[in-house]
Structure 1
Amino acid sequence: MYSLASVAVLVLGCFAVLGSSAPSLKSRRSSAVCHVEEHLLRQMRHKFHALSKDAQKHDEDTETRLVGKDLFRGLEKSGSCYVLKEVIDFYLGTVLQSDHLHAKYSHLSDVKEFLAVLMKRHMSDCDTEDKTKANKNIERLKQKVEKLGKASEAKVVGELFILLQEITSRCSTPGWKPGHQGKSPIDN
């Protein structure tokens, strides 16, 4: 048997090791590119598609594209994920808040909830070294939305499927499982 003093020393030693490794874990995570597992995006794909298809019937502006090449111009992959995170945040905080949209589009509540969880759990660490370019691109999108006025609602909802596709192509990784060869998405 171990003495009480031996167990206390062992426990304190474990706390010391954990405490000394915590800062390195935090710094590695904050500099990491965010990753969203593909299977999470696939689960909601049909709802995004149905919602967007329904909204496109009400979108009369076929010239304006909110989520397109201009949104990612001059950015690297990590910058693209940061931009997508900021676009989702903007949409959730402004356009998708409208009460009449929820009555008009049946899947909107589910999609909004999914986007909020995606932001909180999977994209909150998305960042970029070049925020100047990224923020200019985001500002152009916001100006387009403002210029569209009330018509921006149908445009934003109609492009949510495109937004999901961009997240899939720019920010996703294949699902990682314990025991799987290679690194976990957190280690990348």
Structure 2
Amino acid sequence: ETLFDALDNIEPPTRPLDKALRLPLQDVYKIGGIGTVPVGRVETGILKPGMVVNFAPTGPTTEVKSVEMHHEALTEAVPGDNVGFNVKNVSVKDLKRGFVASDSKNDPAKEAADFTAQVIVLNHPGQIQAGYSPVLDCHTAHIACKFAELLTKIDRRTGKELEAGPKHVKSGDSCIVKDGSQQAHVCGDLPTVCSSWTFLLCVT
């Protein structure tokens, strides 16, 4: 069997078309004669012209006028498509990289002041305790966060609880933390939006 045969035999991934729309914004442009055009990759669901979308965590709700990919108009965009879409009566200043577009009529994305996450400390000098402030990267979001509370230390392979309420963790440890954003609210759909990732990246 050749390499080409092996590639031909790969089953295409199942696209999460049946899930609610989630589209993290990569950038936002002001295009003359068209207007405001957010761009990003559809992670789940379907984006169509005429759909009323909202932008979490703190953006507006508006109508999608058109959707394009590689300068071609689309009747719908599906997971995996990198698209630009023109929105109605919205300024570029109202939208930011890291916002998440969703269907306002079908399980819209919501803001959250905090969330719970499993963290693996890969390499960090010294100890990490409550109050530690890393930067969280999830898709296009880049957010200053704070470990409000270390809930449990767990076995990184089995997930079994090793210690409740640890005072600190160090390199090689895994733990469950209550995390809060230091800059207003974050999109409360991190597990949904980041479902294609195996982790959330936190850096100092």
When the two structures are superposed, what TM-score results if normalisation uses the length of structure 1? 0.23
Give the structure with the larger strand fraction: 2
User: Which structure has the bigger radius of gyration?
Assistant: 1
Higher RCO (Cα < 8 Å, 6 or more apart):
1
When the two structures are superposed, what TM-score results if normalisation uses the length of structure 2? 0.22
Give the structure with the larger helix fraction: 1
